[in-house]
Amino acid sequence: MSQILGLKFRDYGQIYYFSSGPYVVKPGDHVLVKTDQGLGMAQVADIPGEPPKELPPDDIKPIYRLANEEDLETARDNETMAREAYRYCRECIRDRELDMKLVDVEVFHDRGKIIFYFTAPGRIDFRELVKDLVKNYHTRIELRQIGVRHETQMLGAIGNCGQTCCCRRFMRKFAPVTIKMAKEQNLFLNPAKISGMCGRLLCCLNFEQGNYDAFQRKCPKIGKRLDTTLGAVKILRTNLFRETVSVLTETGEEKELTLPEWQEISKGVQSPAQAETGAGPRAMAEDYLAFPPTGDMSPPTPEQTVKSAPPRHKNVPSRTDRPDPRGKRPPKKRFPPRKDDPAAANNRPAQEHRQGPRKPKTREGSE
């Protein structure tokens, strides 16, 4: 009977799912599979009962065959070749003064391709480096740039907890981690405390976020002022490990309540209207929708609006007396010139007099 196998090509690599076909395998065995890159050797990491739900059944292909002693000897030779290629590539990088850091080298089982993993702060022109590698190994060469998290996963490191980093030990995919998670978990926002060996936020923040989200859904929002049987209180903080809520009462006393105690003092609060009817706010809303008020809820008539409007000032013209802005403007009134106007004395228009030259002003006694 065919089984679903979880295979990994490297110790820290991602798990891929294949079918065992007619072969009988157990965890830890080595098998050969055909991939898009060629023939490769993988190790059986897990034998799940069913494939993942997000994986279509057509994508599960059978393995090629079980690995024999000759295949295992070839795998050991490939590891020796990968170490030699690592040293040779570092010498080439040093000679060409390239701003890149070589992390690891992977040699395919049939030596049809060699992959060099490296990190760099930006784009690198490594065309001449590829020529040197192809000239030395006479096979396909691929230089793949990776991030700092994948670098730590390949090299391995000891975390702040004193154990091997999670990415090296069991993590196969990286989930996004945000600073909001550290705030919700009441951690000190010190980069040295919440960052891993790679310099990014700790992956374990994502592991515990689900518990904090479930706990916060049961607790009130921090900073809110709520009415309880103890009076108006302010929410100060919450504690996941003790499952408590700290509140500040009106008298300035700080109290720490468990979740059952908080639910007891908060669920029995009712307004005076609710106390008379004996119903909560939701029931009152349903009653309002089922039995709306019978009073006159129609809008006021124009006569009522005019009567209730304040009296208009006598000197302010009404809307009917004002000129229509869309119509033609009335002509401007022209007044006769004043008697003391010099333009009227010379019988010249005022506009012509203004356009004439002006005499410079002189101070008295200057001449």
With cut-offs at 50, 70 and 90, classify the pLDDT of residue 366: very low
Determine the pLDDT at residue 359.
58
Please state the domain extents for the chain. Answer: 4-67, 74-146, 179-217, 220-267
Distance CA 305, CA 320 (A): 19
pLDDT beyond 50 at 225: yes
The reported pLDDT for the residue numbered 143 is: 93
Inform me whether the pLDDT recorded for 321 exceeds 60: no
| Residues across the chain | 367
Of 10-24, 95-109, 154-168, 301-315, give the lowest mean pLDDT range.
Answer: 301-315
Strand 113-119 relative to strand 101-107, pairing? antiparallel
The predicted-structure confidence for 287-304, as pLDDT tens digits, reads as follows 434 444 444 445 555 554
For residue 152, with 0-12 CB atoms within 10 Å meaning exposed, 13-18 middle and 19 or more buried, which class applies? buried
Instruction: Report the pLDDT value the prediction gives residue 29, as an integer from 0 to 100.
Output: 87
Instruction: Average the pLDDT over 77-98 and give the result.
Output: 92
Mean pLDDT calculated for residue range 126-142: 91
Q: Which residues does 12 contact at the CB level (< 8 Å), separation at least 6?
A: 153, 154, 156, 167, 168, 172
Fold for 74-146, please state it: GMP Synthetase; Chain A, domain 3 (3.30.300)
CA dihedral 65→71→76→78, nearest 10 degrees, is -80
Task: Report the CATH fold assignment for 220-267.
Answer: SH3 type barrels. (2.30.30)
Cβ-proximal residues to 59 (8 Å cutoff; 6+ apart), any chain:
none
Predicted local distance difference test score (pLDDT) of residue 326: 58
Q: What is the rounded average pLDDT of the residues 45-74?
A: 83
CB count within 10 Å of CB 104 equals 18
Residue 352 pLDDT level (bands cut at 50, 70, 90)? very low
Compute the distance between CA of residue 199 and CA of residue 148 in angstroms, rounded to an integer.
Answer: 8
Least confident of 161-170, 229-238, 260-269: 260-269
Mean pLDDT of the 341-361 span: 52
